[in-house]
Structures are given as C-alpha cells and as structure tokens.
Amino acid sequence: MCHVIVTCRSMLWTLLSIVVAFAELIAFMSPDWLLGSPRSHSSASGAGVDSGEYRPSLGLYSRCLRVGARGIGVSCGPYARTFGEVASGFWQAAMLFLAAGILVLAGVACISIFSLCFQSILKKSIFNICGLLQAIGGLLLMVGLMLYPAGWGSEKVISYCGAEALPFRPALCSLGWAFYAAIGGTLGSFLCAVLSAQAEIATSSDKVQEEIEEGKSLICLL
C-alpha cells in the first residue's frame, strides 16, 4: 500500500532538490558566464552616433552581442556548432563534468517527487540513495567549475577580455551571474545531501509509524 508521507524536512528537501537542478541547468545554458570588456557601438550610417557602451557576454558554448546599425539589438546564440568548436579543451572537459552533474541532480529531482509515496527502493532508503547521488553530483559540478577558469587563456576569451587574459585571470572581463548560479547550485547539492538524512529521519519517525498503523494513507506532519 502506498503511504503519502509529507513532513517539513522531506518537503524542503524535495523542493530544494528541484530548485538546485533547475539552477544548474539554466546556468549551463546561459551565455552570461563571462562579461567582456566594455565596448562602444557606433552607428554604421557614418554619422558617428554612439549608442553607448555595452559588455558582450560569453558562455560555455554561446555568446551575446549587440547587432544592428545602431547597436540596439541583441543577438544571442551558440558560437560553437559542434563540441570540437568549444573555445577551450578545458571548457570541453568542464562541460562534460557539469553535464554529468546536472544529469545526476535532474534524476534525483524526479525521484524526490516520488519519495512522497515511496520511501524505499529494494529495501534501501530512497533518501539515503538520493543523498549519496547528490553528493556525487556536487563533486562532478565542483570539478567542472574548477576546470572552467583554466580555459580563460583561449583565443575566444582573449577576443572578449583582452590580450592579458590568462588561465585563472580574466583580465578585463568579469564573472557573470551564470557562474555564481552554478556555484550556488553546487553548494545547494551538498546541502541537499545533508537534508536527505533529515528527511529520512522525519519520514521514519515513531509518529509516522503510529499513523501508518492506524491505517492512514495520507500522513502530513508539520
């Protein structure tokens, strides 16, 4: 019989697991990992009209640039049509580790929804299994984030950040929100791993067992 068990700690773990997975996925797809050196976009009409400074952005495989005669349009899209065209070998490795970590976290996020009804898999706690997977996912993300700055010396980054750009030194560039979101998601994955143990304790407490013995199929403990 399926018992739907909802506690504050299990619900918090489920919601945070979903948020972390989405945060990492959005960060991975965003072009706002690096904000390039300030540039000015003058009108192509020859009148010398300056639309002001702007900062192009560069992601793992995509970028955003101002386009149009007056530089008022923004064009965002992939600069790499194939995996081999990614700016740096370090970025290729970072993408692999980040993608693996995101895949693990996304899988756990899906499983966490079903944990409201099923608390074990093959007599093993679903919370403990998911917590272990989240810790592994966090480690994969951490390796990816450590590899990412090593690719700042590539030609692509130099074209955005200036000739002084070197590995772990972005020169005129600054870090965008996507990088910080990826860091936050990584820290969140380890927090989820810790919360999974608390969710296991909450859903297997004596009070829950008493309500199960009373024949209740929906158990909600705040």
Pairing state between β 50-54 and 39-42: antiparallel
pLDDT at 99 over 80: yes
d(CA 90, CA 60): 10
Percent of the chain scoring above 90 in pLDDT: 55
**CA-closest candidate to residue 189, choices 29, 23, 31, 6:** 23
Residue 51: is it exposed, middle or buried by C-beta count within 10 angstroms (0-12/13-18/19+)?
A: middle
Cβ–Cβ under 8 Å, residues 217 and 3: yes
pLDDT at position 121: 73
Token representation of residue 38: 């300030």
Length reported for the chain: 222
- Tens digit of each residue's pLDDT (9 = 90 or more) over 27-64: 999 999 999 877 775 543 344 444 566 788 999 999 98
Does residue 185 sit in helix, strand or coil? helix
d(CA 100, CA 57): 24
- Tens digit of each residue's pLDDT (9 = 90 or more) over 101-130: 999 999 999 999 888 777 777 778 888 999
pLDDT at position 146: 96
d(CA 98, CA 152): 17
Write out the H or E segment, with its range, that includes residue 58. strand 57-58
DSSP result, 97-122 = HHHHHHHHHHHHHHHHHHTTT--EET
Sheet holding 34-35, edge to edge: 73-78, 62-67, 57-58, 34-35, 174-175
The interaxial angle of helices 126-147 and 8-29, nearest 10 deg, is 30
pLDDT at position 219: 64
Of these ranges, 70-74, 131-135, 167-171, the one predicted with the greatest mean pLDDT is 131-135
What is the pTM assigned to this prediction? 0.85
